[in-house]
A and B are shown apart, each in its own frame.
Chain A
Amino acid sequence: MMEQLWLIPALPLAGFVVNGVLGRRVSKAVVHTVAIGTVALSFLWVLKTLSALMPLETAHVERYGTWIASGSLEFALEFAVDRLTAVMLLVVTGVGLVIHIYSVGYMAHEGGYYRFFAFLNLFMFFMLTLVLANNFLLLFVGWEGVGLCSYLLIGFYFLRRSATTAGNKAFIVNRIGDFGFSLAMFLMVVTFGSLDFAKVFPAVEKMPVEAAAGVVTAICLLLFVGATGKSAQIPLYVWLPDAMEGPTPVSALIHAATMVTAGVYMIARSWPLFTHAPLAMDVVATIGLLTALVAATIGMTQFDIKKVFAYSTVSQLGYMILGVGVGAFGAGIFHLVTHAFFKALLFLGSGSVIHALSGEQDLRKMGGLRKHTPITFVTLVCAGVAIAGVPPFSGFFSKDEILLAAHHHHPWMYWIGALTAGITAFYVFRAIFLCFFGEYRGEGRPHESPPSMTIPLIVLAALSLGGGFLPVPHFLDPVFPAMEGQHESALVFVSVALGLAGIGVAAWFYVLRPGLADRVAASLGGLYRLVYNKYFVDEIYWAAVVRPVVGGSRTLLWRVMDAGVIDGIVNGIGGRARDAGRLVRLLQSGNIRSYATWVLLGSVFAIIGMGLAGGLR
């Protein structure tokens, strides 16, 4: 039976088309009604479809036709829903809807209103295509599409140079990842002769698990290169903090809740491949863990409120990658869901603060805001306890599942993960204390945000607090392979204790003894500067990669290859063609008798030619 799954992405696409074509001419009210309306309808259609398809123990596939057929290779236009996709659909349309509503208040005073909503709708279309796709090629279309929208929205304030630079950085860094993804697809076509999930995964199930590196390991590692780009993992995480140049709702939707988790989703979706490549799994888990730790330490030292949360996103994505890397696919997706709630809330809350302070993002110029913006304060604390892993709030459940799975895999992974959890609690509450406690250190009059912004905050706060009770891992059981091993409950206390300790230290540093933090920072000296400057990674990339590439392009590629060789060849061909063209032009005299002569000559040649070919006697 058809459930018309195509409507789910088509509705936001319709919103994009309407706003893109007519948005300039109609009022703001019409623009956001169309944008929110289409996303809301899409959300309702998801609910209707899922309630009709439940319990959804096997995937529901809908085929709309052949997209490309070339020889034996065929790519179908197919959408599929299984339980994993169901979870993703609910997160994307649900959180997406809330953020669309929030944007009405946040973007009220900004130019390019219709452009913003049109791009946001286009993003929803590509993201939903990504999660609904039933083959890697269609998934890649969504993957590239969300990248495009991300680029367009990071550079939304295109008159600001830093914004366009950040957009370019995101786009170029993602190209590196996407190159890996495309290589993985080529390798899959060569190995399995198809990119359909329904063909690749059963084929790989029949293969033995690779003890040493092999073709499946290569595919998985190349896919993971794609994931490090999209999901901001070491070494390609550098674009995400800069991406905060975009409007805050964009940071919340694209750079926290949905797009950046595409890499996690893709790895979870490809679990049959990854479970056959334990080597690749180890790489995934190690990179994830390392990213979680490194990004968390950077987050401790930043003063731009959005940068703090950006590094926090990188760090939390590291947790998810760690989860899927140690084989706890369900836990990784669970953390993806809870993270979508509390991280979207953190960003929207910080957006509300920035809105209240008319654009101020520096934590050192905030303070004491809990009196001025009480709703924002309370909801941000909700997000804080959720991300810090305080039981019984959402982050506690999902993070602990990942950490316990990591412990089962390698105990040292657990300890680094738990330490990171402590650091996480510290930097989140550092930001909250700097922002809402103490004396107000800025100018201007802070004010609470309009209801269109606070209501989404409250909704997300409720989800952040209670989201841990959603039975996501249990729901996902039929999709993923079962995890063996028992949980050691003692470990739970360790990570919770570390989290609470992080909150305590933050309170001690920034509420009880203000000024202590600066002294500690000063005493650490070089180490602090190293972390504060983000380990100089951007500078290293600049010196090691960007400058040589740009320099090489300027001299070798541009001056020598392009201007010399290629232009030479092109101008040569063009010039020769021009000369030949002049000759041909001579034939085209405009004189009709000469034309007739040519026809006649041609006929004579035709007869002679055919006679020779046919063996005229």
Chain B
Amino acid sequence: MSQYYTSTDHFVLIPALMLALFGCAVLLFDFLIFPHPKQRKWLIVFLIIGEIFTGAGLWRQQSFLSSYGLNELTAFNGTLTIDGFALFFNWLFVLLSVLVAIVSYRYLEIENEHHGEYYGLILLAQCGMFFMATGTDLITLFLGLELTALSFYVMVGFLRTQKRSNEAAMKYLLLGAFSSGLLVYGFSLFYGLSGSTKIVDVADALAAREPGDPLVVLAMAAVAVGVLFKVSAAPFHMWAPDAYEGAPTTITAFLATGSKAASFAFLMRIFLGPLESARPTWEPLLIGAAVLSLFIGNIAAVTQTNVKRLLAYSSISHAGYILLGLIAGNETGLIGVAVYVAVYAFMTLGAFLVLVALRRRDLIGEDIEDLAGLMESSPGYAVLMLIFMLSLAGIPPTAGFIGKYYILLALIQTGHYTLAVIAAVFVAVAIYYYFRIVRAMFVSERKETAPLASTFGIKVALAVSGVLTLGIGIYPDPFLRMAGFSLIR
């Protein structure tokens, strides 16, 4: 090993290497070893093996950190950092990728689009997410962001024969490119200001400048807009409802959870890193974006009849809540952000998975009406959906309540009383539209008689998300400790 690639570098990089390796291998295997469409489900097994290797790498890193009592381990001359934060998010990505992969098989078959690339793209997207959560250098972070986004552009348009899917991919691509342009423009200004791409150096350079320096403001605004676009916060949310609705539902689930969580990791790395010293400057912008997200997300969700679109708007409003945790910025708030991101991922994934099961040969299963009478036909699914809806609305004893509780507590601790009241008021609005789904399931007359497309994979994934959503709500302590471990020190 030379000085350019030390054993520490290797150790830190292993999970990403595994993801990239297995991702490429899936693409090869697809036509070399498993050419027959029926054999493609073996690719899922292969993906899980890849995730096991990735997990093993993460596990070794975690035990290394704890056995030496280290807070972090940097590699590649400070461009990658393994710390509690990176590990927390990477474990989340592993879980989400596996859950998404195991539910996709039947769904893609029904859509007649079951191809091996799909699983390769999931792994490559996750590889990008690794860099978004682990990178401590502007270039690494940006590369990770682009790798993830490029994989998602393809996956959103995966249903080639459907106009809706193509249109969604095109919109996502164009607006994504636009926002990436803004982001990278901001990054280039950072580099110009500091002469370095490492976020530690950028932070020092920015702290040395006077507050309100026009160059700093310009750079920060460009970066903030780019990042807020990625987390689909208003007013940069426009792509989300269209992309969520058009994408294959399994990919919508991954986009709404994995990509969103990675984007928030990215946002935290930037805002708590180089921009922390300029908090007074960006705080009003984030407050504006958060309140606007709460408003637009919740209000627009009220009129939706398509559940995927409804959940897209709900995801915009949840982005608003997460931003509020960052605005509070004390320890409770930052733990709250980690808690909320993970909890949001579990409950949103669960809700989308129920929609995946509703997709049958002759039925799209995305409208609220398609859920009518679900309690009668498939009580298990209806009860799970109820748990996810309660959690999304933030009602105890579900995980969603714990997330909202931490955010509100942090706002009150830091004296942001107005924001706390606004956040609480929108909870009331949210209950209205989540319970439209519940009412359809439990009160409305059953219309469809076709059995759900439930596979073993869907059952497992739903059970995992259900247990996590309810379990964290009832016994939050172990999970809160994990989230506390994830603070950036």
Seen from chain A, the residues whose Cβ lies within 8 Å of a Cβ on chain B are 65-69, 77, 570, 573-574, 577-578, 580-582, 584-585, 587-588, 590, 592, 595-596, 598-599, 601-603, 605-607, 609-611, 613-617
Name A614's contact: one of B211, B302, B428 (CB within 8 Å): B211
Question: Contacts A573-B429, A585-B303, A616-B217 given: A599-B477 contact, CB under 8 Å?
Answer: no
A-chain residues with CB within 8 Å of residue B54 when the two chains form the complex: none
B-chain residues with CB within 8 Å of residue A573 when the two chains form the complex: 428-429, 432
Asked whether B326 is an interface residue with its Cβ less than 8 Å from the other chain, the reply is no
Asked whether B175 lies within 8 Å of A582 as measured between CB atoms, the reply is no
Asked whether B218 is an interface residue with its Cβ less than 8 Å from the other chain, the reply is yes
CB distance from A358 to the nearest CB of B (A): 35
Asked whether A599 lies within 8 Å of B175 as measured between CB atoms, the reply is yes
CB distance from A616 to the nearest CB of B (A): 5
Cα separation A588 to B234 with both chains bound (whole Å): 12
CB distance from A97 to the nearest CB of B (A): 29
Cα separation A54 to B189 with both chains bound (whole Å): 74
CB distance from A608 to the nearest CB of B (A): 9
Question: Contacts A602-B236, A615-B212 given: A610-B299 contact, CB under 8 Å?
Answer: no
Asked whether B92 is an interface residue with its Cβ less than 8 Å from the other chain, the reply is no
Chain A residue with Cβ nearest B167:
A590
Looking at B22-30, B111-119, B238-246, the stretch in contact with chain A turns out to be: B238-246
Seen from chain B, the residues whose Cβ lies within 8 Å of a Cβ on chain A are 170-171, 174-175, 178-179, 182, 211-212, 214, 216-218, 220-222, 224-225, 229, 235-236, 238-239, 241-242, 278, 280-285, 288, 296, 298-303, 428-429, 432, 475-478, 480
Question: Contacts A69-B477, A601-B235 given: A614-B212 contact, CB under 8 Å?
Answer: yes
Cα separation A137 to B444 with both chains bound (whole Å): 38
Cα separation A599 to B235 with both chains bound (whole Å): 7
Cα separation A185 to B129 with both chains bound (whole Å): 47
Cα separation A490 to B142 with both chains bound (whole Å): 94
A-chain residues with CB within 8 Å of residue B280 when the two chains form the complex: 613-614
Asked whether B477 lies within 8 Å of A606 as measured between CB atoms, the reply is no
Question: Contacts A573-B432, A603-B221, A610-B221 given: A584-B299 contact, CB under 8 Å?
Answer: yes
A-chain residues with CB within 8 Å of residue B182 when the two chains form the complex: 599, 603
| Interchain Cβ contacts within 8 Å, total number | 115
CB distance from A294 to the nearest CB of B (A): 40
Question: Contacts A578-B303, A588-B300 given: A611-B217 contact, CB under 8 Å?
Answer: yes
B-chain residues with CB within 8 Å of residue A570 when the two chains form the complex: 432
B-chain residues with CB within 8 Å of residue A614 when the two chains form the complex: 211-212, 216-217, 278, 280-281
B-chain residues with CB within 8 Å of residue A66 when the two chains form the complex: 477
A-chain residues with CB within 8 Å of residue B302 when the two chains form the complex: 574, 577-578, 580-581
Asked whether A592 lies within 8 Å of B171 as measured between CB atoms, the reply is yes
Asked whether B217 lies within 8 Å of A607 as measured between CB atoms, the reply is yes
Asked whether A596 lies within 8 Å of B178 as measured between CB atoms, the reply is yes
Cα separation A25 to B236 with both chains bound (whole Å): 53
17 A-B residue pairs with Cβ-Cβ distance under 8 Å, sorted by A, are A65-B478, A574-B432, A578-B302, A580-B302, A581-B299, A588-B238, A588-B241, A588-B242, A592-B171, A598-B238, A603-B222, A606-B224, A609-B284, A610-B221, A610-B224, A614-B217, A614-B281
Which of B212, B222, B283 has its CB near the most chain A CB atoms (within 10 A)?
B212
Cα separation A598 to B174 with both chains bound (whole Å): 14
Asked whether B171 lies within 8 Å of A615 as measured between CB atoms, the reply is no
B-chain residues with CB within 8 Å of residue A69 when the two chains form the complex: 477, 480
Cα separation A595 to B224 with both chains bound (whole Å): 17
Which of B218, B235, B296 has its CB near the most chain A CB atoms (within 10 A)?
B235
Asked whether A599 lies within 8 Å of B179 as measured between CB atoms, the reply is yes
CB distance from B413 to the nearest CB of A (A): 10
A-chain residues with CB within 8 Å of residue B475 when the two chains form the complex: 65, 67, 77
Cα separation A408 to B16 with both chains bound (whole Å): 79
Q: Which 9 residue pairs across A and B have the least CB separation, nearest first?
A: A581-B303, A614-B212, A614-B281, A595-B238, A615-B212, A607-B221, A584-B300, A602-B235, A66-B477
Chain B residue with Cβ nearest A65:
B477
A-chain residues with CB within 8 Å of residue B235 when the two chains form the complex: 598-599, 601-602
Asked whether B285 lies within 8 Å of A609 as measured between CB atoms, the reply is yes
Cα separation A582 to B282 with both chains bound (whole Å): 31
CB distance from A144 to the nearest CB of B (A): 13
CB distance from B57 to the nearest CB of A (A): 29
A-chain residues with CB within 8 Å of residue B212 when the two chains form the complex: 611, 614-617
Question: Contacts A66-B477, A606-B225, A609-B285 given: A580-B299 contact, CB under 8 Å?
Answer: yes
